[in-house]
Amino acid sequence: MPLHINTPLLESRPLSLAGGRSIWLKMDALQPPGSFKIRGIGAACEHHATGGKRRFVSSSGGNAGIAVAYAGHRLGIPVSVFVPETATELAKSLIRQEGAEVIVHGASWQEANERAMSALDTDTAFIHPFDDPLLWTGHATMIDEVVAEGLSFDAVAVSVGGGGLMSGVVEGLARNGLAHIPIVAVETEGAASLAASIKAGERIQLPAITSIATSLGARMVSERAFEVTQNSAVDSVVVSDRTAVEACLRFVDDHRVLVEPACGATLALAYGHAGALARFERVLMIVCGGATASLAQLQAWHAA
């Protein structure tokens, strides 16, 4: 049985009015661990459990770590999540809340990840946050659900970190005969590794991540994500952190759902960047969610 739920699909009156076109929301913020990531990570964890793995390891102090912890709990498999000293108390407590072990190591993700790698053995499955075909196939279920509800749309807007979500959306479109539908790929300034790669014509590694949208903070996108931009219609859009935070706060009032700036970046297309949607009449927005920003944190960013 899948570990994700079938999420609501709704036409947003406020976003449609703000964006000047019909905006449909796939509400993956409502997944039990708070983001779309459980779709792919749940599928990967089930695959590894069936294959006999007896422990899961993650090196994400964000929504991927939370999703692995949730999946392990549901499957009765112990989970260790290696996170850097910079991981927030909220993220660590959400991981521990699922009964997973949190190991704090190193100043940055690189060091935490190296320690995680050194902890692997043949009984253990390492769950990558975005670069794994098992994940993309799992993420693709969100498009299956939209198609099953009979909605037709002429673009899909998604936030991009390492590009796992976008790769999954592309797979979902392809397996439903919709490979021609364009993608609007949204990043924040300071985390725009996809935009930089498209501009350069090759995968680029950013020197550092300076955006507050840490869930988009992959310094380099996966090979698959870059390949998608070369083979499909992908519009790349970069928004400011401020715009993303403002979109989160408006979305709380409009839909009574709290999401991270990583998700607010996509919502900001309707609230303030409608030019990016000008060619489209009916846009499907993936409300990817995110559990690591509290309302107080959003308000503090907004006041800063």
Cβ distance to ligand PLP smaller for residue 22 or 174: 174
Query: What span, in angstroms and rounded, lies between the C-alpha atoms of 287 and 156?
Result: 11
The rounded distance, in Å, linking the Cα atoms of 201 and 111 is 29
Count of Cβ atoms closer than 10 Å to residue 275 Cβ = 9
For helices 63-75 and 89-97, give the axis angle rounded to 10 degrees.
10
Beta 22-26 vs 9-11: how paired, if at all?
antiparallel
Q: Six-digit token pair at 62?
A: 């964000």
Between 181 and 194, CB nearer to ligand PLP: 194
Instruction: Between 17 and 233, name the residue whose CB sits nearer to ligand PLP.
Output: 233
Nearest distance from C-beta of residue 106 to ligand PLP, angstroms: 21
Whichever of 126 and 130 has its CB closer to ligand PLP, that residue is 130
Tell the smallest beta-carbon distance from residue 262 to ligand PLP (Å): 4
Other C-beta atoms lying within 10 Å of the C-beta of residue 122:
7
Nearest distance from residue 64's CB to ligand PLP, in Å?
Answer: 6
The C-alpha atoms of residue 67 and residue 41 are separated, in whole angstroms, by: 7
Nearer to ligand PLP, 22 or 189 (CB): 189
Q: With residue 19 as reference, give the H or E element that holds it.
A: helix 13-19
Q: Minimum distance from CB of 123 to ligand PLP (Å)? A: 27
Q: Quick one: how many helices (H) and strands (E) in the chain?
A: 13, 10
**CB 238 to ligand PLP: min, Å:** 14
Q: Which amino acid is at 62?
A: G
299 to 199, 209, 212: CA distances (angstroms)? 33, 21, 13
Under the rule (CB under 6 A), what is the footprint of ligand PLP? 35, 37, 62-63, 130, 159-166, 215-216, 218, 260, 262-263, 288-290
165 vs 267 by CB, closer to ligand PLP? 165
Least distance from C-beta 54 to ligand PLP, angstroms?
26
